Structure 1
């Protein structure tokens, strides 16, 4: 099954060749046509797994990565991962097809765009199919980095940079929290495999790290899936090109958190903490997104908040459905399993109708030059296909028949009504609030869906007559038409999808469900005149009334103080953090080398000296030391005097000569210690260094003021004596406390091992040959840099002379 690993890596591999293809063929053919092949191949290959997964089988494969730490690139194909994989590749193929006609090959840096897109696609595929938690985390962070690059694609725009920065800060913060949580559950279960964790849930739930791990992992999921209060990054991410918004922010990236919650529900589900965190945050996000969507004047901003709302709906359903794991509920597992079933169904539905709506909004912006709802209107006759697609997508989002959103919205109402009758997790007291909040949010969802349709396409035409508005070319319409068709097909044939994908995904999330309970789940458009249908009727009636009277109550948004908005709080907090960090940085980044040396040596004295003192590490043993001869003492005294001369020299020439003399004195030590090669090397290096010093100082400008006296500074003396003392104590203590055998014995066999009679040369050339090669490479690069700078300066001086 290594072919499947290659399939996941295919987008990464192809991304390497995109710049080459762009450079060679961009003037003749759009680069997107080459990239389009990648998701198409992935989607077609994933389709072959549907029969196997539908039969209840799973496919496991492992590729060694870091076997020493039991970290392998393991893949796990079941109903849940396959559903996400098909969405990632299928929607990805349609988005790339759409981008071919949306992005101009003459005006856009398409090689950057498609490289970033392929990186993101590969990361998402790796994320949903990974079984190892650390491999999953690596792909998780790649999605954050690649989405940052995609959002900032038009980097010359300030809003694009701001949106990319905000998404990066929030999602990376969540990712680091998630990593800590994954480490906790890995240590509790004794394995890095998610599949094996599901078999050892008791060890995790009984651990003291269970709740902290849960909270940290949910932080990662909530930030990635734009849950309240972390949802503020999603609207600003709309500065990305529309194909990116359609892909990242409707079908894939924002669903990563949903996937994580669904995948780990068998571990954390069945507890009140998980139930209330996931359900509560989801319901609040649902209401927050729907209420704020109405006040938006930008079409993409409206869709952004609607996405936040719909993600909250899916998250709340996963939380409600986790109650099936509380205890053996018998036949009632079907009741709570319906919530998770509805979550997966609405996840697929949302990808279809929201992807189509984003593409249509991109078409409107492309053809009219604006996304401002206040400037739009009367486009129905000019753009009939776009109008039809908007009606399909918006009505499905509003939960109206005959569109797939109606079916999953009815199941959502069923789930929240069932929740109100729970008699555990304290639902008997506050459970009634869940269906009420869900119904109110649905009313607002209906209103912003009507705004999207009628404010844009109905009413008076408001655009400047100098711009000719017409329907988009057929190439740009193919992708949204396919998604719109799936919205309608999903209404009439939902159980085909349920049989082959949704039910296998459901059993992956709720393994407690019996086969009979899963088979009992059916999707039907008509259940009679039940409570759910009356709730839908109430949504339509009240929503229509509120929409028709929008101007009368819309001003209520003005009463909310802007200073209390989450965005404003984020901006102010970011400004304060920047000011604080700037103050701290300016306090120690003084520009003086002396200060930096004080910090470095001061920290070394405190850290190393303090550790030696506290751990009682001062211990000298000189029994095996060689005797120090008078000749060696004399050379040492001369070296000390020479070093002090450097410190107190009043002229440059004196300091340079003293430094050179000190180097030559060190060479004498090598001669005494019978290392003639080292002595020769030291003499050559010191000679060259001294000559270079003289050459450089000769060209330096003369000092304006001669230094007559070196001022004494007590701080310098303390730091110098302290650093020297600590290093001396460490050297003597280490020499007197040898815990391991010296490695010098190994190098003494240099002649047998490397055929070299000189140990030092053998170490440099053979034992540490790669290290030496890299050092030479660094020096070569530095030399080339210096040479280039000199050549550029000479060339500039020559051009200036010619100009004169």
Structure 2
């Protein structure tokens, strides 16, 4: 049996026990110690799959969910999902260890923190393991919900609530759009399985829904991975605690969009639209993120925009590499396929150096009380270990040797230069823009990396501007970034081990045309001679160093950009106007009048049912099977009509009340005539009780004449009443005259043999509708508990006020 479903479920099960453990052991033991083994065990178990997956074997497990609709809980482990699963659990282990020392066990609601964290981890594992697109969507949206809860963890802060709302609105919007694309794919292929869709690609590429489905799915991917112009949610998400930023917004959640693009490349790759959308938006995001990162004064905001930039880099590589499917196999295909290989390599590298940098910035904030670059400086001597780790992580992000970021950045330049020279998708003309934009973005990447290191750790120390006396954190807080930094160095010296066992299987998952052909033979090395990409790197360093040296002279350029044109301002203005419009519209029809609300409901009822019945010719009668109406039945009907008109025309409440009661009693007489004594008794009891309650209420109501005056005739009421009555009568007569199915009464007449009950009504309620009745009872119990709780809270509050 495969353990894939269990690995997904375990984090969710853990959320049940975390609050219990928190209550039992607070404040003696930090709750994180109970959570720590969960991702660690999953990570270790996933490592055992590396030999099998690297040999080309896949793991698949299916659990039936809704088999009648072809929806099953199918889990699939291949090279691509293994890479992401290892990042999700591996980084998760380090984040939990880090949070044990970062989060105060006395001042924080740690049970909520770890419940949200495990909820997110389980959802992310569900995303990368799901083969069924509808199951994938469920987990996809669950990541958005968990992210919302984590970003709003410090909900007392206005900015935390704002950032959480923004991320939820944008990512859930993208998810809904993506779902539409998924449904289109299912309509074209007749299956919900991604694996089966890949085998049917040739038959759906000419379908009219192919391009719309592609665009809609990309919108979902772009919103989740903070691609331009949806990237505005990521910087505001930095209001979450630093462990969350290190986990969600550098290594996991923002990579979900990358995963989606990689997973659907075998379906959409090789098409010009996919190529230009993915690579074009990616390269634009790379530039946008790097330009904005330079002007930030908050360290986490700087890292947030740098994350946007790096995600754009990875996305652009996936887009460029997708063109290899246009050629099939061959030298031209390999030139593009290198970009896909590089995207996976940089994905891993980014998780190592960016995860460590978020943790290190958290350490700086934790030990100095601020992340404001203008207040920092001179920390190198006070925090030498933190400085060393930050230096390595920043230089790796800048693409400098001897760190892993240098290798993937050089391969990035190589892929761009090679792709710009190929005559496909107009790359022979427009392709030159890719290396130019990438080089400019790399210069700004170098600048903000230097800002991160030297503005923080060198210069003059300003202790009066700090909330705390700066010093090194506890060793437990340093261990997680240390481990990541070790990988930053080790990958530089041993990159081909990673390439053989991790990157190569993921590569063949993205480009299945290489399956059975040994993948792609790439040897990663730090030196390739005096190549154009090396000169590009030298240019980045030289120009970047000069611009950093004179940054005060040109940084003022950012002030001239009008704030009204920023994406954040457009978002805020849009939300404000939508809220204003919604508020005004709602106030127009939500006027507090119950009569108005009934008019809306009944008018809708008349228009929809009346129009549908008229257009679909649903109103027709067949009275041939109706029983004759006896004279006493006609007399009861006449009496009921008299009672109903008495309610309308009476001038006193007591007469109206008596007429309502008489109408109810007359209805019970029909139950007697139709041999339903139990219903007749129920009707009599209900009418008696309600009449008594009405009398009690009316006793305390003011007289009409004194306060309300004479009630005026309202034509609207007459029209609505006649309309609803007419529609209901016509539908009842039409449905009675046309029976599409055999009556179910024949089945219930056999109640004694089926249920052992002599009373058919009791049999229906208890046996045939047992679950329904049980749920109704449960609803009543919950409502009762709610009323009881509210009363208790009110009494408790009253007692406290009296005590004061």
TM tier, smaller? over 0.9
Q: Could you tell me how far 1:468 is from its partner in structure 2? A: 1.9
Q: Which residue pairs with 1:217 in the alignment?
A: 217
For residues 673-696 of structure 1, the C-alpha deviation after alignment (integer angstroms, 9 at most, x for no partner) is 122221112111211222222233
Q: Which residue pairs with 1:490 in the alignment?
A: 491
Q: Which residue pairs with 2:542 in the alignment?
A: 541
Specify whether residues 793 and 463 from structure 1 end up closer, same or farther in structure 2 by C-alpha distance, changes over 3 A only: closer
Specify whether residues 182 and 790 from structure 1 end up closer, same or farther in structure 2 by C-alpha distance, changes over 3 A only: closer
Aligned partners of 2:799 and 2:28: how far apart in 1? 42
Aligned partners of 2:790 and 2:698: how far apart in 1? 20
Instruction: Give the secondary-structure state (helix, strand or coil) at the position aligned to 1:60.
Output: strand
Q: Could you tell me how far 1:708 is from its partner in structure 2? A: 5.3
Aligned partners of 2:794 and 2:324: how far apart in 1? 74
For residues 325-350 of structure 1, the C-alpha deviation after alignment (integer angstroms, 9 at most, x for no partner) is 01235123221111001100000000
Q: Which residue pairs with 2:296 in the alignment?
A: 296
Q: Which residue pairs with 1:511 in the alignment?
A: 512
Q: Could you tell me how far 1:4 is from its partner in structure 2? A: 2.1
Instruction: Give the secondary-structure state (helix, strand or coil) at the position aligned to 2:720.
Output: helix
Q: Which residue pairs with 2:105 in the alignment?
A: 105
Q: What are the within-5 Å matches in structure 2 for residues 33-182 of structure 1?
A: 33-182=33-182
Q: Could you tell me how far 1:659 is from its partner in structure 2? A: 1.8
Specify whether residues 186 and 791 from structure 1 end up closer, same or farther in structure 2 by C-alpha distance, changes over 3 A only: closer
- Judge which range, 455-464 or 474-483, deviates more: 455-464
Aligned partners of 2:458 and 2:404: how far apart in 1? 24
Q: Which residue pairs with 2:604 in the alignment?
A: 603
Aligned partners of 1:374 and 1:519: how far apart in 2? 48
Q: What are the within-5 Å matches in structure 2 for residues 373-772 of structure 1?
A: 373-464=373-464, 467-513=468-514, 518-700=519-701, 705=706, 709-772=710-773
Aligned partners of 1:794 and 1:655: how far apart in 2? 39
CA contact (8 A) 1:360 1:386 kept: yes
- Judge which range, 638-647 or 619-628, deviates more: 638-647
For residues 131-160 of structure 1, the C-alpha deviation after alignment (integer angstroms, 9 at most, x for no partner) is 111111111011000000000000000000
CA contact (8 A) 1:648 1:710 kept: no
CA contact (8 A) 1:650 1:708 kept: no
Instruction: Give the secondary-structure state (helix, strand or coil) at the position aligned to 2:306.
Output: helix
CA contact (8 A) 1:333 1:517 kept: no
Give aligned pairs, total: 803
Q: Could you tell me how far 1:519 is from its partner in structure 2? A: 5.0
Specify whether residues 376 and 711 from structure 1 end up closer, same or farther in structure 2 by C-alpha distance, changes over 3 A only: same
Q: Which residue pairs with 2:308 in the alignment?
A: 308
Aligned partners of 2:798 and 2:530: how far apart in 1? 89
Aligned partners of 2:575 and 2:287: how far apart in 1? 26
Q: Could you tell me how far 1:791 is from its partner in structure 2? A: 6.9
Specify whether residues 790 and 131 from structure 1 end up closer, same or farther in structure 2 by C-alpha distance, changes over 3 A only: closer
Aligned partners of 1:501 and 1:203: how far apart in 2? 32
Q: Which residue pairs with 1:270 in the alignment?
A: 270
Aligned partners of 1:83 and 1:704: how far apart in 2? 79
CA contact (8 A) 1:618 1:733 kept: yes
Q: Which residue pairs with 2:233 in the alignment?
A: 233
Q: Could you tell me how far 1:761 is from its partner in structure 2? A: 2.8
Taking structure 2 as the reference length, the TM-score comes to 0.97
How well do the aligned residues superpose, as a CA RMSD in angstroms?
1.8
Aligned partners of 1:792 and 1:520: how far apart in 2? 70
Specify whether residues 795 and 198 from structure 1 end up closer, same or farther in structure 2 by C-alpha distance, changes over 3 A only: closer
Q: Could you tell me how far 1:710 is from its partner in structure 2? A: 2.7
Aligned partners of 1:730 and 1:749: how far apart in 2? 30
Aligned partners of 2:491 and 2:565: how far apart in 1? 41
Q: Could you tell me how far 1:80 is from its partner in structure 2? A: 0.7
Q: What are the within-5 Å matches in structure 2 for residues 185-264 of structure 1?
A: 185-264=185-264
Aligned partners of 1:634 and 1:667: how far apart in 2? 14
CA contact (8 A) 1:334 1:517 kept: no
Instruction: Give the secondary-structure state (helix, strand or coil) at the position aligned to 1:518.
Output: coil
Instruction: Say yes or no: does 1:24 pair with 2:34.
Output: no
Specify whether residues 419 and 392 from structure 1 end up closer, same or farther in structure 2 by C-alpha distance, changes over 3 A only: same
Q: Could you tell me how far 1:638 is from its partner in structure 2? A: 1.4
Q: Could you tell me how far 1:198 is from its partner in structure 2? A: 1.4
Q: Could you tell me how far 1:764 is from its partner in structure 2? A: 2.0
For residues 44-81 of structure 1, the C-alpha deviation after alignment (integer angstroms, 9 at most, x for no partner) is 00000000011111111111122221211111111111
Instruction: Say yes or no: does 1:372 pair with 2:372.
Output: yes
Taking structure 1 as the reference length, the TM-score comes to 0.97
Q: Could you tell me how far 1:746 is from its partner in structure 2? A: 1.5
Aligned partners of 1:708 and 1:536: how far apart in 2? 88
Aligned partners of 2:30 and 2:156: how far apart in 1? 23
Aligned partners of 1:402 and 1:676: how far apart in 2? 91
- Judge which range, 664-673 or 370-379, deviates more: 664-673
Q: Could you tell me how far 1:700 is from its partner in structure 2? A: 4.8
Specify whether residues 297 and 703 from structure 1 end up closer, same or farther in structure 2 by C-alpha distance, changes over 3 A only: farther
Instruction: Say yes or no: does 1:14 pair with 2:14.
Output: yes
Instruction: Give the secondary-structure state (helix, strand or coil) at the position aligned to 1:72.
Output: strand
Aligned partners of 2:782 and 2:652: how far apart in 1? 34
Specify whether residues 785 and 525 from structure 1 end up closer, same or farther in structure 2 by C-alpha distance, changes over 3 A only: closer
CA contact (8 A) 2:514 2:520 kept: no
Aligned partners of 2:307 and 2:585: how far apart in 1? 40
Specify whether residues 254 and 707 from structure 1 end up closer, same or farther in structure 2 by C-alpha distance, changes over 3 A only: closer
Aligned partners of 1:692 and 1:655: how far apart in 2? 14
Aligned partners of 1:784 and 1:372: how far apart in 2? 49
Instruction: Give the secondary-structure state (helix, strand or coil) at the position aligned to 2:72.
Output: strand
Aligned partners of 1:773 and 1:291: how far apart in 2? 61
Aligned partners of 1:253 and 1:773: how far apart in 2? 40
CA contact (8 A) 2:334 2:520 kept: no
Q: What are the within-5 Å matches in structure 2 for residues 324-335 of structure 1?
A: 324-335=324-335
CA contact (8 A) 1:650 1:707 kept: no
CA contact (8 A) 2:279 2:315 kept: yes
Instruction: Say yes or no: does 1:775 pair with 2:791.
Output: no
For residues 538-571 of structure 1, the C-alpha deviation after alignment (integer angstroms, 9 at most, x for no partner) is 0000000100010110011011000000000000
CA contact (8 A) 1:601 1:723 kept: yes
Aligned partners of 2:93 and 2:145: how far apart in 1? 21
For residues 328-379 of structure 1, the C-alpha deviation after alignment (integer angstroms, 9 at most, x for no partner) is 3512322111100110000000000000000000000001100000111000
Q: Which residue pairs with 2:351 in the alignment?
A: 351
